[in-house]
A and B are shown apart, each in its own frame.
Chain A
Amino acid sequence: EAQVTQNPRYLITVTGKKLTVTCSQNMNHEYMSWYRQDPGLGLRQIYYSMNVEVTDKGDVPEGYKVSRKEKRNFPLILESPSPNQTSLYFCASSLRGYTDTQYFGPGTRLTVL
């Protein structure tokens, strides 16, 4: 089954404790992206990647890191999480870019205390 998976689905952590949210797709897509969703703000793009080793900032990259060492994986790293990073996070992938249909993961609910 073609899908985007994210882990964990839910995470409660404390300020400053490094964490990684994994994202993996099995569709051989070149484009992958991370978004955060907050009430009243919609989805905001954090980082995106056009291919292996090619990443670029979205609109809200501060406090986040990403890497794309393999085509299928695009982990989101929070080196020192803060409470303002409490949010719902989505990973998405598409064949070549945002103009193609984006397939979203199920979301990761992160709470930073």
Chain B
Amino acid sequence: AQTVTQSQPEMSVQEAETVTLSCTYDTSENNYYLFWYKQPPSRQMILVIRQEAYKQQNATENRFSVNFQKAAKSFSLKISDSQLGDTAMYFCAFGKGGAQKLVFGQGTRLTINP
């Protein structure tokens, strides 16, 4: 079974700093997708970024980028120029190409301090 591990339960940085959230996963599959979802205090889950395993290029979305290391099974999220609105729980998720299941990590609670 696929597993997703987020080893940092909580992180805290100052506004405008850069922060990196870690995620590792375990799979024997070659075709899969990885995601980062954000859950602010409102509880609303929002997709931050998506990476397809067959793509070598790391995905980016404005201030958010990933470092996808397929061989190491690592998928970290970098937030540049962090803002107060980035304060949230962040979940890493894995989806296998053929199946339609998503497996989430335990989450990292990120606090951006003014």
Contacts from A to B (Cβ < 8 Å): 31, 33, 35, 40-45, 48, 50, 56, 58-59, 88, 90, 92, 97-99, 101-102, 104, 106-107
Contacts and interface: CB of A to CB of B under 8 A. Distances in A.
A92 to B, nearest CB: 7
A48 B107 contact: no
Interface residues of B, number: 22
B43 A88 contact: yes
Contacts, number: 53
B103 A45 contact: yes
Contacts of B4: 42
Contact of B33 (A31, A42, A98, A104): A98
Interface of B: 4, 6, 9, 33, 43-47, 50, 52, 91, 93, 95, 100-107
Nearest to B1: A59
A99 B103 contact: no
A44 B62 CA distance: 29
A98 B101 contact: yes
Given A102-B47, A106-B43, A41 B106 contact: yes
8 contacts: A35-B104, A42-B4, A45-B102, A45-B103, A48-B101, A56-B100, A104-B46, A106-B44
